[in-house]
A and B are shown apart, each in its own frame.
Chain A
Amino acid sequence: MMLAQTANQGQLRIPVEYSAVLPVLALIGGALVLLTWSSLTRHRRAGGYALVTVVSGAVALGGAWRLWNRIGDHGPIRAMADAVVIDGFAVFFMVVISIAVVLAALVGDAYLRREDLEGPEFHVLLLLSASGGMLMATANDLIVLFLGLEILSIALYVLAGFHGRRQQSYEAAMKYFVLGAFSSALLLYGIALVYGSTGSTNLATIATYLAGNVAVDNGLMLAGMVLLLVGLGFKVAAVPFHMWTPDVYQGSPTPVTGFMAAAAKAAGFAGLLRVFVSTFDTLKLDWQPIIAVLAVATLLVGSVLAVVQTDIKRMLAYSSISHAGYVLVGLQAASKRGIAGALFYLLAYTFMVLGSFAIVTVVARRGDADHDLESYRGLARNRPALALAFTVLLMAQAGIPFTTGFLAKFYVIAAAVDSGSYVLATIAMLAAVIAAFFYLRVILVMYAPAAEGDEPLVRLPVPRTVGLALVVTVAFTVAVGLLPGPVIDFARHATLIF
């Protein structure tokens, strides 16, 4: 398809534009460096591996920043024979995923040392998975979208089962793999149907075709669209495609769970937003109601089921489901404000969720097993700063003012109200109230006063890398909550393509 197109234009050379995909290359390059290094030397150097990963993430972040300026001056870049497009939207997700890589590597390093898993594999898989996520965000072709999804997912399947001594980790990997493969198949089938009814897999071509042709009977197209929605809905954990989430989140090594919740969700939404809002724009009236129903189901199921959990990772898994519901509310609005809200939400969420899972990693202690709510009892006496950080992050997730979490919810709900979806907006706000209950419960447990007969506290070790990740996430959550101007502008400009 790509070759055919270029051949038509009389060019046999495929313009690649390496500089436009620099962030993706930086991550893949980092992975290759790690593989080469670790196979050439005998001693394993966990710190060095983590450093390479962090540097790769930082280079990707810097590259994204340069691309952002270039796009601002010269407009979007189409690269690799129109298979990928680097626009503000893509750069936004490059930033989100780079941040997720850096934070996950910081937390992951501490985790690997504690669990005696030092090796480059974790970092290699992390970088490759992130490169897949970035590819999804830049995809201008359904095939590239699929490739990106597979690169992202396959690395994540392995990461989920990474902790060799934990039975649950195997179970999570197996479950994630089987269900993930199933959803990939549905996505691929959807791509085939869309190709069948429009004659192209290129997103821009599909959009032009849909705008120029009114199909009398577009059942094939709609079926393809729904299958795409199912495939991507699985990745973002939207109800009813969420069944894997609690088990996989609970079983995976905790830093992996954090990365999964941040990056995989962001990449899934990058695909959803691009395909639905820009490509299927003309079918808006068909997909908006579906998204609205999914959003309501996701919000309610996520927050109600989170309330009854006693395992913190399962609770955060359900809460991540309800967060997906809010992003869907932004998507449902299908307006510029809705997209900007969804983007802002995903950026804010990346920090909140990675910070939260960093704390869960620390509290779980060696063996990654202490995830019961009771493990958090008295955390404020043991590690006051850690408890305070968790309080801020949980309050932000609950949507308490002066945090990014509040502004994110405000943004998507404003978009919903602006587009006239009053009922959806009200349901979303009430779901936030239900959700607030379980965040509060955790906070109350952390600050519970000492009871008689309590064993003396063994001070929890908090590795420096985790401390750094926490400082970054909490500072972002509060600082941007107070002065959100620049970040809102970033999200707003990232939607200019539409």
Chain B
Amino acid sequence: MHETHATFPILTAIVLLPAIGGLITALIPHARTEVLRVVGVMFTVATAALTIYMAVQFKVGDAGFQMVSHHSWIKEFGISWKLGVDGISLWLVVLTGVLFPLALLGAPVTRDVKNYVAWMLLLEAGCLGTFLALDLFLFFLFFEIVLVPMYFLIGGWGYDNRAYAAIKFFLFTLAGSAFMLVGMLALVFLHQRATGVLTFDLVQLAEKQALAETTARWVFLAFAIGFAVKVPLFPLHTWLPDAHTEAPTAGSVILAGVLLKMGTYGILRFGLYLFPRAAIDLAPILLTLAVIGITYGAIVATMQKDLKRLVAYSSVAHLGFIILGTFAFTSQGLSGGVLQMVNHGLSTGALFLLVGMIYERRHTRQIAELGGLQKSVPLLAAAFMVVMLSSVGLPGLNGFVGEFLILLGTFATHRWWAVVATSGVILAAVYLLWAYQRVFHGPAEGDNADIPDLNLRERAVLVPLIAMIVFLGVYPKPVLDRINPSVHRLLDHMEQAAK
């Protein structure tokens, strides 16, 4: 597979810029909270600008990895610092770049601003690295390091039960990665035995399929467990509601918007690319788990009394759709899956921001204690409605495009799974509309009556998100044009391997 190298190492810059920002904030005194906030926003905005510049520079129709930076790192193990971007990772990088400044602006904290900003910036570096790494070892490093800042964000700025949630989140993911690391090493050493080359380079490992069929299945399974925890796939999802609910607003936004995508992206990038045969053989299991996740997540979401927990469970259902599309092995399913990763990041990110804004005003997330907010905060209600409808999958908004492509792609190859999954769309409408109705409709009484509407800062944060939600719903072509070549290439690769 061909790779185009960059003259200016823009991808390295994208990963290092927030990390440098994190180190700089460490040098600023604690008391200068305003300076710290500005530095944090500046670095995230600069990173966002770089990711957008990267998207502009991205060559449409080129299916290979672009703008590759490649430097040897640990020679003893054939490990290198190798970053590259293709249609599958492109929009996830942009999504990460865009969500961070919005999360920082949309949900400012008051306690210990310095550490908060530093952890957010380090978290961003880790997230971007995860999506850009083309070396298995490097990917694993980023995949794991992300846990540390997120652990501190949940544990330091979260709600009442934060210690439990932070540790649970950390240990679940770490346990998943334990299997992945062993699988990764097995793959690399077996590849060395077959070819004589010891390398962690993703492309080299994938293009020369060196594993016997049964071995490949075991190794794929090891990878799949690691990613399934992160997605999270039923029944490994139990860390998610706790982590999402207890995390501070910005933490939830990034957790749902970016971190969960690492699982679905990983399974697409590594699972399918490295082990095409095994992925095809084991697809029924993953499809079934995805469908269970869709319906289970939706039903449990319906029962929630806590608005944030409801949104958290809706993620379980939505991520199930992405896995469904991925393992349909059709171009529509895969493209829809990739697009849906971005969509979910936008709409669930926005939902968590809105829930955070409600909490700031009312200091409760209990649906029963809210009501009639449409009268007291009409703008917030309108924004919530647009975002909620996008999450439901209303035509004209982004969620519809992704879900439609996924169901279309799945129906062609796995009809019955698609049929069951469609029920998830209806259930999503049930829990989200019902929640909206209980929170925003009816008479506004007591505390619900006199709360301020969105201020300028909050509006500035929500407008870009809603603009993207609408744009992707109406005209997804520019985005899909960049996703499709890479998706087709992956499918060709799988077809060849399956022969």
Contacts and interface: CB of A to CB of B under 8 A. Distances in A.
B175 A430 contact: yes
Contact of A433 (B77, B141, B175): B175
B34 interface: no
A176 B77 CA distance: 41
Contact of A410 (B75, B111, B181): B181
B145 A429 contact: no
Nearest to B114: A384
Nearest to B156: A447
Contacts of B151: 440
Given A395-B148, A440-B170, A425 B182 contact: yes
Contacts of B76: 485, 488-489, 492
A425 to B, nearest CB: 5
Contacts of A417: 182, 185-186, 189
B289 interface: no
A433 B178 contact: yes
B144 interface: yes
B454 interface: no
A117 to B, nearest CB: 37
Nearest to B184: A417
B336 to A, nearest CB: 33
A444 B75 CA distance: 36
Contacts of A432: 174, 178
B400 interface: no
B21 interface: no
B166 interface: yes
Contacts of B140: 401
B171 A444 contact: no
Contacts of A287: none
Contacts, number: 75
A414 interface: yes
Contacts of A449: 111, 156
A88 B498 CA distance: 49
Interface in B70-85: 73-77
B171 A436 contact: yes
A402 interface: yes
A91 interface: no
B175 A444 contact: no
Contact of B178 (A400, A414, A429): A429
B167 A413 contact: no
A413 to B, nearest CB: 7
B137 to A, nearest CB: 8
B280 interface: no
Nearest to B152: A447
Interface string B132-175: 00000000111011011001100110000001001100110011
Interface in B174-218: 174-175, 178-179, 181-182, 185-186, 189
A422 interface: yes
A430 B176 CA distance: 9
A492 B76 CA distance: 9
A182 interface: no
Contacts of B178: 426, 429-430, 432-433
27 contacts: A400-B147, A400-B148, A401-B141, A401-B145, A402-B145, A413-B181, A413-B182, A414-B77, A414-B185, A414-B189, A417-B182, A418-B189, A422-B182, A426-B178, A430-B175, A433-B174, A433-B178, A436-B170, A437-B171, A444-B155, A444-B163, A444-B166, A447-B155, A485-B73, A488-B74, A488-B76, A492-B76
Interface of A: 395, 400-402, 406, 410, 413-414, 417-418, 422, 425-426, 429-430, 432-433, 436-437, 440-441, 444, 447, 449, 484-485, 488-489, 492
Given A413-B181, A418-B189, 17 more contacts: A400-B147, A410-B181, A413-B185, A414-B77, A417-B189, A418-B185, A422-B186, A425-B182, A426-B178, A429-B179, A432-B174, A433-B175, A440-B170, A440-B171, A444-B155, A444-B167, A488-B74
